[in-house]
Amino acid sequence: MKLVGLSGVPKAPLLCSVFLFVISMMLWMFGIYGVVGSGGNSFMIEWQILYLCGVDWTLPIVVDYISIVFSCFVCLISGSVSLFSMSYMEGEVFLRRFMLLIMAFVGSMNLLIFIPSLVTILLGWDGLGIVSFALVIFYQNKKSLAAGMLTVLVNRIGDALLILCICFLINWGEWSIGYGLFGNFSMLICCLVVFGSMTKSAQIPFSAWLPAAMAAPTPVSALVHSSTLVTAGVYLVIRFYSSLVESPEILWLLSKVGGLTLLMAGLSACFEVDLKKIIALSTLSQLGLMMLAVGIGYPVIAVFHLFTHALFKALLFLCAGSIIHSTLDTQDGRILGSVSQLLPFSSGCLVLSSVVLCGMPFLSGFYSKDLILEGVFSSFVGSFEVFVLLMGAGLSLVYSLRICLVGVFGQNYGSSLSSFGVESGYVIISIMFLGFGAIIGGWFLQLVWVAASGFDLVGMLGKVMIGFVTFFGLMYLLVKLLTMSKVSKKLVSSLSWFLSSMWFMGLVSGSWMAGMGLKGGVLAHLCLDLGWMEILGGQGAFKFLGGGVSVFYTMQKGSLLVFLRIFLVLLVFTLGFFFSSL
């Protein structure tokens, strides 16, 4: 059954979109009042559910600028995705089921955002994993099923680590994460939380599932890879930061892993040819940047970059989805190109979002990215972090240019122009909402959020270096010219396989983990279920009982000879026992 209006337009996405936009507006107004009016105070609301035998079961809810603004952005992006789905998924038979999954996804994310108890966070965490699996396998072909299995297997590692963390937190008698942990198991708990968050945010070595999840519909990619699933790990680390401060070794490891992920994803995006995978790798690069910012001691700037990244990355996915949908599901960069005249609005917004991604001054991405670069220059971090951050900042312009070259400019090698579609009104409206946020969102957040304003001052040399690194990616054009020669082509081709394969992360965290689990399951099935478990279990017990039954059956045949033999055997055992006891 599908909700359809009088004009044949499905009503389920429209109703969900209006509902989410209204909730987002209310949260934004409440958030601005809470941040500006109350001076950035935080509130804890706790409802008592049950009090039994001295045990107090309560539901805590944290209300502060982080949770309010984050939930506002999640609802805004989800509403835009729902509106976009009216055009992108208009021929879908199970559209109502798709929207129910989207709403379940939003509900799980809000459960994760507002409740600071690790037990309840696990509900939202598991909800995100289960619903993301259902959304990735939505098309139910071989590619999407393989990507869904890889996604759910990696996410289950994080679930198991959080369950272990909950078990160790019994020593405190409390599962809240709003205070620092001291005493026994504090280092172990922090380590479990960080590694669990790394699985959800696809940090090295758990990076293979994020590009594979591009098998999902593009609206799902826009929602999952901008503000919900992949940012859940970063959000948990930021919420747990008061405990991580007590374990500097964990923060050191987090900064190194985040830096490697930033560098690996940026280099891989420079050699990828699939449009959606380039955007997915850029998401992975930005997630590494956020983890690096948390590791070097700037969680507030990481939150700021998390918010701005959600706006322009969702815009980037929706623009790419509009181009893919209008070109008959073509997303190969070797075929796409020259759609700026056919799809002017989507192409223009794709260029805009790419410019925001590379950190163009006075757009949303510039404010948070500039703050992270200033923070690294003014803090006492190692040379590795500085080098990796400068490289990542330079590579962001390279893959931003690649997105524009693949999706908008260049020569088209696809089908004829008669097969191109047109942009619907729903697509334009949904892109306009996010485009407005991508332009002024960062400036407005920095204006009303005092804690996220510029508090690190660097000298003129630092500012010049930041500007140079930001636009250093323009050297990509020279690299493209150099690759025209045979020598440079051989040199680049020798590295392209290694860099485009995400440093073989697909083999490390994809094929190895999934293959080891599946092969181990098959081996356990052959050796245990069909082997020793059968011998010592079902069939062995059956044969043993069968032998015993046959013995008793023989003993009770009624033959005089059998009874005489049994009497003699029992007599011998009785006499032997009697004489041995003497």
Q: What is the pLDDT of residue 486?
A: 44
Estimate to the nearest angstrom the gap between the alpha carbon of 297 and the chain centroid.
Answer: 22
Answer whether residue 257 is part of any domain: yes
Tell me the two tokens of residue 337. 């190109």
Position 509 in a domain: no
Among candidate residues 463, 487, 511, the one where a domain is terminated? 487
Q: Is residue 149 within a helix (H) or strand (E), and if so which, with residue range?
A: helix 142-168
- Residue 400: which residues within 8 A CB-CB, separation 6 or more? 282, 354, 355, 357, 358, 473
Please work out, in degrees rounded to the nearest 5, the angle formed at the alpha carbon of residue 502 by the alpha carbons of 498 and 505. 110
Type of residue at 5: G
Q: What are phi and psi of 58, to 5 degrees?
A: -125, 160
Q: What is the pLDDT of residue 416?
A: 53
How many beta carbons lie within 10 A of that of residue 131, not counting itself? 24
Query: How far apart are alpha carbons 261 and 281 in whole angstroms?
Result: 10
Tokens of 571: 């007599």
Q: Are residues 302 and 444 in the same domain?
A: yes
> Phi/psi of residue 319, each to 5°?
-65, -45
Same-domain pairing of 442 and 560: no
Spatial contact of 3 and 96, defined as CB atoms under 8 Å apart: yes
Query: What is the dihedral sign for C-alpha 411, 413, 418, 424?
Result: negative
Angstrom CA distances, 359 to 39, 444, 449, stand at: 29, 16, 20
Same domain, yes or no: 553 and 406: no
Tokens representing residue 194 in the block: 């960080």
pLDDT score of 414: 58
DSSP per-residue letters across 75-104: HHHHHHHHHHHHHHTTT-TTHHHHHHHHHH
- Of the three residues 487, 502, 530, the one that is the final residue of a domain is 487
Are the beta carbons of 223 and 89 closer than 8 angstroms? no
Q: Are residues 310 and 458 in the same domain?
A: yes
Q: Does residue 483 sit within a domain?
A: yes
Contact status, residue 158 vs residue 197, Cβ threshold 8 Å: yes
Q: Within a domain: residue 369?
A: yes
276 with 349, same domain: the answer is yes
Check whether residue 290 and residue 395 sit in a common domain: yes
Q: Answer whether residue 7 is part of any domain.
A: no
Count of structural domains within the chain: 2
| Domain closes at, from 487, 502, 525 | 487
Q: Indicate whether 555 belongs to any domain.
A: yes
Please check whether residues 410 and 263 belong to one and the same domain.
yes
What is the per-residue burial (b if ≥16 Cβ within 10 Å, else e) of 265-282? bbbbbbbbebbbbbbbbb
Q: Are residues 289 and 365 in the same domain?
A: yes
d(CA 488, CA 504): 23
Provide the CA 386 distance to its chain's centre, in angstroms: 26
Q: Which two tokens stand for residue 23?
A: 């909730």
Q: Tokens in use for 420?
A: 């191109």
Q: Between 383-407 and 299-326, two packed helices, what is the crossing angle to 10 degrees?
A: 20
In the prediction, which pLDDT does 271 show? 81
Same domain, 578 and 451: no
- What is the span of the domain harbouring residue 258? 247-487
Beta bridge partner(s), residue 56: 51
What span, in angstroms and rounded, lies between the C-alpha atoms of 374 and 371? 5
Query: In this structure, are 480 and 564 located in the same domain?
Result: no
Amino acid present at 103: M
Going residue by residue through the chain, which has 582 residues, state the pLDDT in tens, using 9 for 90 and above: 444 444 445 677 788 888 888 888 888 887 767 655 555 667 777 777 777 666 667 777 888 778 888 888 888 888 888 888 887 777 777 788 888 888 888 888 888 888 887 888 888 888 888 888 888 888 878 888 888 888 888 888 888 888 888 888 777 666 777 666 656 677 888 888 888 888 888 888 888 888 888 877 888 888 877 767 888 888 888 888 888 887 788 888 888 888 888 888 888 888 888 888 888 888 888 888 888 888 888 888 888 888 888 888 888 888 888 888 777 777 776 777 667 677 778 788 888 888 888 777 778 778 888 788 777 777 767 777 788 888 887 788 888 887 777 777 766 665 555 455 566 777 888 888 888 888 887 777 777 665 555 555 555 555 566 666 666 655 555 555 555 444 445 455 656 766 766 666 666 666 666 666 677 777 777 777 676 666 766 677 777 777 777 776 666 666 667 777 777 878 887 888 777 766
- C-alpha 88/C-alpha 95 separation (Å) is 11
Specify the pTM: 0.76
| Contact (Cβ atoms closer than 8 angstroms) between residue 287 and residue 203 | yes
Q: Are residues 327 and 258 part of one domain?
A: yes
Query: Does some domain include residue 270?
Result: yes
- List CB contacts of 464: < 8 A, sequence separation 6 or more: none
The answer to whether 123 and 167 have CB atoms below 8 angstroms apart is no
Residue 412 in domain: yes
Query: Could you give the CA distance from residue 75 to residue 243 in angstroms, rounded to a whole number?
Result: 29
- Say whether both 575 and 476 belong to one domain: no
CB 209 within 8 A of CB 151: yes
